[in-house]
Structure 1
Amino acid sequence: MANLDVRIASRYLIETTLSRIATRVRIPVPMRGTTVENIWGRIRMNYRHKALWLCTAAIAMSVPAVVQAQDEAAVAANEAGSDEIIVTAQKREQNLQKVPVSISVLSASALSDNRVNGLEQLSQVSPSIGFTNSANTRGQGLSIRGIGTLNFSDGVEPSVSTVIDGVVIGRSAASFFDFNDIQRIEVLRGPQGTLFGKNSSAGALNVVTEKPSLYDSSLEASASYGTFNDVRLKGTGSLVLDEGRAALRLSGFRSTADGIITNTFNGKKLNNADSWGVRGKFLFEPSDATSIYVIGDYGESNRDCCVSTVRSVLPTTTYYNGQTRAALLSAQHLGPLNREVTIDGEPFNRQKTGGASVEINTELGGQTITSITAYREFRVFDNNDADGVSLPVASVNNARQKQQQFTQELRLTSPSGEPIEYVVGLFYFWQDVVSQTQVKGNLVVNLPAGQYLGNQVDRDITTKNVAAFGQLTAHPTDKLSLIGGFRLTSDQSVAHFNRTILPGALAVMPSLGGPVYMSPTLKATDTDFSYKLGAQYQFSPDIMAYFTYTRGYKGPALNLLNNLTAATVNSGLAVLKPEIAQNWEGGLRTTLFDRMLTLNVTGFYETFTDFQAQTYSAALTSFQLTNAGKLITQGVEVEAILRPVDGLTLTGNLAFTDTEVRGLVLSCYPGQTAAQGCQTGNRQDVSGEALTNAPKWAYSINANYGADIGNNLRGSANLAYTYRSQVFFSYRDPKTIQPGYGLLNGRVSLETQDGRYRVSVFGKNLTNKHFASFIGTGLLDTSATGAGYTQLLTPDAFRTFGVEGAVRF
């Protein structure tokens, strides 16, 4: 009788939800009676109604199916099965299916099977993640649910936080590293400031590396070779120093690959790979109540990158000496497949990253006290030839940057399973960024030989962040949990900016630089209280639903771009307002059919007020910073794992993300007419448009099969397909559209049954689908009627093959 009541209620919930959907999208759906459509047709849905609609739809469409499945399947009583996924999204170890947060977990095997070697490739295995490429790592950016920061200013921090072994990374550029000895990556969607704090208004990537084993010593090594002379070497050793008490783990990697772009000016290969790194860990547990975990790492990347190739040119573009851009690039096969450049400048990106952390955990009266102390340093020296031709128009556009950060986190965590569970803590963050940029060239002036225009910009910014945070979960009944969290944050940033004429230059360089200017000391301070409220209900041991509201926060930003002016500073526009996020989210977590199927569904409605955005003006050939009025992202996320037979695992992930920007006014795109929205002053209001590089549909499907095949051997195969729908890289500009595309990856392995030896053959982008990771206008290649365009390509945009061998002892 109880199940019958649930089904009746569920059917009513579905009909009500379908009525909402029909009204929302204005699709006529036949209904019995007339009241449902009439009632909902009179409702004007504001943003709270939209949030409820999304979350209710996600849960309501799923509850009846899973309840019926529970009736028809014998559910295993043991919840701690071998397929259980453990996460630390709430600062304690928990089963993923019990956590009221939208999470996808990427295991080490999933990353390895798809040859994902860095954060910039995560979008190939996690549909809700986006990546936008740039001429250097300082300008690259990650996004979650379409929201992310793409910015060159030292005074703007990312909206997607990267946390490695409990340590927040302060700069986006320092987050781009080669994956090595990774245990898992937790993709936490939506604002995560309550527990992860700094730079997580859009979400967080919680990267967890492998710990030393206190009981088993081991040694692992692998080597692979692939297309473009892609060579990757990895090694890891874990040594037990005192069984059950002390252990050491060392890992390292070396990665090289030829560039995929040829410079016809000198024959050099560009956009190559050349990096190496080491990480050491020491784990000491002097007693059952105390552990000390010390980590140190260092890595370098020395690449001749990152150059854009030319898709098209404007026939009328002429340089200072009368040569045309079309003539200078006539030997190239321009278009989406162009893998040639003709430049006289030297593109490079030299990067060094390292740091150390100490994590201490100790139990006191049943509580766990955690202290994480960390220092990290990041250095980069990069340059790009911005003009894209073999003339010194703007052949030097470089930056030297040094970032240092110190963090201290102190937490008190209650035992799990109590009527009230809590995590409370204090957090301190200090960061200092010092940089010097130089621009040099003739630009549009025909100067005597040896003379040039140029600017040098020196700047520094010091940031301090202090916060108190906590989250409490009360269990008034065995099934119901109530959630409350908060973060009280104090932010302070102080910066200096000085733009001078480059030593030896004849005069300043307009646009990319500007007149001599030293700003007064720039300051930004703010105090904020962000919070989280929610409820979680455990229908059965294998069915959980939750609903949460979260207010996220990212502190004020400072405009430290090369072209900063006195007018911008004096008007107060050099200080950007804090970024405020609000997220309504509902989810359903299920494990069905005797643990054969795991199905998770999440609905969300998220808004960002005063989003800190960077835009580019082709007419002014300069970047600009502004607060966008409002961003909206709403949609549904689905994750499924199916284990139909022994050895076979099928996984699927779907993200439907509908984004919209409101109150953002920026420069018109080249050639845009009044009929296309270009207004007086060459400005356009892009309200109502989808966010750039934010696909509405993205999904991934993966099949993995393994079985013993005799002669002490085991075979396995993996096949994965990822799809992302069409995006714009620049608002409304049809020349910056990247059509939807899918990538097919495969891997076949043969190994001994004891796991000691393995050989694999792999292929990426097997159908050879070409795509650009960024499309933009060429420098100075613009006019009132249109422009020429450039693109950034990666090796993943081409079919590649390779072989890998591995040993383990």
Structure 2
Amino acid sequence: MTYCRNAFLLCTVAATLSFPAIAAAQEAASVPAAPAADDIVVTAQKREQNLQNVPVSVSVLSAATLADNRVSGLEQLSQVSPSISFTNSANTRGQGLAIRGIGTLNFSDGVEPSVSTVIDGVVIGRSAASFFDFNDISRIEVLRGPQGTLFGKNSSAGALNIVTEKPSLHKSEFEGSASYSTFNDVRLKGSGSVVLDEGRAALRLSGFRSTADGIITNTLNGQKLNNTNSWGVRGKFLFEPSDVTSIYIIGDYGENNRNCCASTVRSVLPTTVYYNGQTRAALLSAQELGPLNREVTLDGETFNRQHAGGGSIEINTELGGQTITSITAYRAFQVFDNNDADQVSLPVISVNNARQRQRQFTQELRLTSPAGQPIDYVVGLFYFWQDVVSRTQVKGNLTVNLPPGKYLGNQVDRGITTKNVAAFGQLTAHPTDKLSLIGGFRLTADQEVAFFDRTILPGAVAAMPSLGGPAYVSPTLKATDTDFGFKLGAQYQFSPDIMGYFTFTRGYKGPALNLLNNLTAATVSSGLAVLKPEIARNWEGGIRTTLFDRLLTFNVTGFYETFNDFQAQTYNALLTTFALTNAGKLTTKGAEVEAIIRAGKGLTLSGNLAYSDTNVRGLVIGCYPGQTAAQGCMTGGKQDVSGEPLINAPKWAYTVDARYATDIGDRLRGSANLAFTYRSQVFFNYRDPSTRQPGYGLLNGRLSVETSDGRYRLSIFGKNLTNRHFSSYIAAGTLDTSAKGAGYTQLLTPDAFRTVGVEAAVRF
């Protein structure tokens, strides 16, 4: 394996070292060119830098890119960023993001995501709290690979650094928009910045309201499911009492109240019979089953009610030329959700709900040197505290023919408190004008303490098997660990417009606790309730170029990344149960290519390509329904999926985009945008051919006319213009499985169908 890894990386290094010949044709100079108006500024290294000078695999999604493609949340980022994958779930607690094919999908409160979400410098502790409507976004930086050195916490696979718009200290301004599109999708957005004291104090307020009809119909009552119904506000105050000191205060609150998230049935197993003798096939006979099915027949409720909010204070000041930064933040998140897991009009598992409350406090202190010194550095301390408490209930008859009014059921109460303390830093030495040496570290101490209490639901005649279990109170569950992560690398500036780098990073995500509904005394006593920490190692090399008098920006990155003891959740469809385990080893290797061509006046072409070859080693899970010994199913209903690609990890993904703007007479300006994104086939369950999502491409477009002063704009837009249908998750149906096969369900979103609309905007 070492030789394969070295051979792969040698190709990247060779490409890097070959660039001096190209650099000779460029202007001879020893430092990067001065920033230009079209330079992209990022904070991927905790200081503002030109993207082309940053030795990190990072792509930037601007506010314009998000708007042109109607991307309104993290779950849609895969449509504009090929390195990102999103896997849907019956609720936001189970949804997950992946970068380079690596990400965490988990219902356990004791497992953190592997892709970190950071909003205005504040780490979000729970994956569910990351799924919110975008509002007043300036840019999103997608940082690929382990980012623990500077972003820490749960970023072993990568990080999304979300930056919102700041108040302007010099100009009061307002902008707002209203749009209407297919499915009665109505979105209202507004933001305004007011100067309170010229050059010293300003206030910015923003808000949004989004509603849309559901795309799924419950034939039992006509209710529309999987709708949109959210709103939110954010306020910011910026105060700069002196040239070297600033105080930045942010507060936000948002709600998302949806009849979500219902799966539809693709197929049924003819032999599935319920407790009263009715068959699943007969109960669903009125539906047109298949990949385009948009109907359900549910007797239980489907909803997701969540709200989140918080505040932060960021203080920056200078001392002896150094910048001292303090970010203090508190956030809270609550959700109440339910799904009818059986998907028929019988009380088989009609109640499957959760109430969860999360609170977190973070404190970060940083010391940053001025740029351009012989040694640049960022050092700091970080503290994280989080408390998560939840109650879940499962209720139904399952397969038992009980007397009227009787049922099986469980209630599970659990909670976990997490503390994380870290010291971190990154130093960049410049022994010559062209060469930079990079060293970073993060010393982390983790502590988790949890309780678990499973009872029989009041009124139930017995426990719910698989999804619950007999009454059980676990002893206090604890996990502690200390880790030293680091980063080493070199950066070389071949010319003002060509830079190459190579880095090695050891990333880390702390231990996890198994708090799934079906936790047993045997699991706890064997020590398997505590999962080992997740260790990531990433070898990465890249070239950053700006060529032909800035007409072309062309960046290439190669990577080889491994994860030991990845914290994985698996589902056994035959036993209707989830399990947590440490996968032996995950590997992802590949390349990322990004290009921008400024083809002419008003015309910009761009493209992004991601190739990720993923596989897993040492992971043994339940066989998929109908799997034979010849297909790898071993005695005991287990299969070793070593060598298989990761779930929902496309090998190829790319986006291409064309933007054109021109004056139309003296008072108007027109613009057009056309974007296409493609993702190759994936599996949502290892080896199971029935969970295969074929490759697909989405075409988005936008036409706009605005006044020459930019005050008024009218646009028409379309998403998925070719009406390319796809599923965001496919799985075996609950209790619709046997040793010989299964029926399957899917999750659909509005993005799987053509939508068109109109938008009006104003700015002054």
What is the TM-score normalised by the length of structure 1? 0.93
CA contact (8 A) 2:731 2:746 kept: yes
> Is 2:641 aligned against 1:686?
yes
The answer on 1:539 being equivalent to 2:494 is yes
Matches within 5 A, 1:437-448: 437-448=392-403
- Classify the secondary structure of the residue corresponding to 1:80: coil
Contact 2:31/2:495, CA 8 A, preserved across alignment: no
1:707 aligns with 2:637: no
CA distance in 1: counterparts of 2:421 and 2:686, whole angstroms: 37
User: Which residue does the alignment assign to 2:80?
Assistant: 125
Partner residue of 1:613 out of 558, 561, 568: 568
Aligned to 2:26: 70
Residue in structure 1 matched with residue 678 of structure 2 by the alignment: 723
TM-superposed deviation, 1:350: 0.2
1:360 to 290, 315, 325: 315
Partner of 2:606: 651
Instruction: Report the AA paired with residue 666 of structure 1.
Output: I
Instruction: Give 2:251's match in structure 1, choosing from 289, 296, 314.
Output: 296
Please show how residues 186-201 of structure 1 align to structure 2 within 5 Å.
186-201=141-156
Assess if the C-alpha contact under 8 Å between 1:50 and 1:605 holds in 2.
Answer: no
Aligned partners of 1:58 and 1:603 also within 8 Å: no
Give distance in 2, aligned partners of 1:314 and 1:778: 9
Q: Is structure 2 residue 12 aligned with structure 1 residue 55? A: yes
1:646, CA displacement in angstroms? Answer: 1.1
Could you tell me how far 1:450 is from its partner in structure 2?
Answer: 1.1
Alpha-carbon distance change, 590 to 783 in structure 1, aligned in 2, over 3 angstroms? same
Matches within 5 A, 1:257-656: 257-656=212-611
User: How many Å apart are 1:451 and its aligned residue?
Assistant: 1.0
What residue in structure 1 maps to residue 624 of structure 2?
669
SS at match of 1:672: coil
Question: Residue 54 of structure 1: CA displacement?
Answer: 4.9
Alignment of 1:206-221 (within 5 A): 206-221=161-176
Distance in 1 (alpha carbons) for counterparts of 2:402 and 2:679: 47
Is structure 2 residue 42 aligned with structure 1 residue 87?
yes
Structure 2 counterpart SS, 1:195: coil
CA distance in 2, matches of 1:519, 1:404: 23
Contact 2:32 2:493 in 1 (8 A): no
Letter in 1 for 2:279: T
Correspondence list, 1:168-187, <5 A: 168-187=123-142
The residue aligned with 1:46 is: 3
The letter of the residue matching 2:213 is D
Distance 1:266 1:807 in 2: 41
CA distance in 1 between counterparts of 2:386 and 2:230 reads: 25
Contact conserved, 1:423 with 1:471, CA < 8 A, in 2?
Answer: yes
Question: How far apart in 1 are the matches of 2:21 and 2:642?
Answer: 39
CA distance in 1, matches of 2:24, 2:213: 55
SS of the residue aligned with 2:626?
coil
SS at match of 2:600: coil
Provide closer, same or farther for how the CA distance between residues 792 and 64 of structure 1 changes in structure 2, counting only shifts above 3 A: farther
TM-score (norm 2): 0.99
Shift in Å, 1:53: 3.3
Sort the Cα spacing of 1:577 and 1:78 in 2 relative to 1 into closer, same or farther, 3 A. closer
State the 1:448 CA deviation: 1.3
Decide whether aligned partners of structure 1 residues 142 and 57 sit closer, same or farther in structure 2, where only a CA change above 3 A counts: farther
SS of the aligned residue for 1:193 comes to coil
| Partners of 1:502 and 1:286 in 2: CA distance | 59
| C-alpha contact 1:606 1:632 (8 A) present in aligned 2 | yes
Aligned to 2:726: 771
Distance in 2 between residues matched to 1:53 and 1:726, nearest whole Å = 29
Partner amino acid, structure 1, of 2:697: G
Query: Which residue of the partner structure matches residue 91 of structure 2?
Result: 136
**5+ long unaligned stretches in structure 1:** 1-43
Q: For 1:372-391, what per-residue CA distance to the aligned partner results, in whole angstroms no more than 9, with x for missing partners?
A: 00000000000000001000
Shift of 1:718: 0.1
* Counterparts in 2 of 1:58 and 1:559: CA distance versus 1, 3 Å: farther
Q: Is the 8 A contact 1:670 1:784 kept in 2?
A: yes
Q: Per the alignment, in what secondary structure is the counterpart of residue 139 of structure 1? A: coil
Gapped regions of structure 2 (runs ≥ 5): none
Q: Which residue of 2 aligns with 1:800?
A: 755
Counterpart Cα distance in 2 of 1:50 and 1:692: 26
1:741 to 672, 696, 701: 696
Q: Could you say which structure has the higher helix fraction? A: 1
Corresponding residue number in structure 2 for 1:39: none
1:711 deviates by 3.7
Establish whether residue 104 from structure 1 lines up as the match of residue 67 from structure 2.
no
C-alpha contact 2:714 2:758 (8 A) present in aligned 1: yes
Name the aligned partner's letter for residue 577 of structure 1. Answer: K
Determine if contact 2:661/2:672 at 8 Å carries over to the other structure: yes
Deviations 1:448-493, CA, capped at 9 Å, x for gaps? 1111110000000000000000000000000000000000000000
Residue equivalent to 1:732: 687
Cα deviations by residue, 1:512-533 (Å, 9 ceiling, x for unpaired): 1101000000000000000000
State the shift of 1:80 in Å.
Answer: 1.5
Match of 1:150 in 2: 105
1:9-28 equivalence runs, <5 A: none
| Contact kept in structure 1, 2:29 and 2:496, CA below 8 Å | no
What's the Cα RMSD here? Answer: 1.5
Q: Secondary structure at the match of 2:599?
A: coil
Give the Cα separation in 2 of the matches to 1:439 and 1:100: 49
Helix, strand or coil: the match of 1:262?
A: strand
Number of matched residues?
764
State the one-letter code of the partner of 2:201. A
CA distance in structure 1 between the aligned counterparts of 2:545 and 2:526, rounded to whole angstroms: 54
CA spacing shift, 1:790–1:293, aligned 2, 3 Å: same
- What letter matches 2:738 in structure 1? S
The residue type equivalent to 1:282 in the other structure is: F
Matched residues in 2 for 1:706 and 1:504: separation? 66
Deviation at 1:109, TM superposition (A): 0.3
Partner Cα distance (2:636, 2:16) in 1: 48
Q: Structure 1 CA distance, aligned partners of 2:31 and 2:56?
A: 24
Alpha-carbon separation, structure 1, partners of 2:479 and 2:29:
59
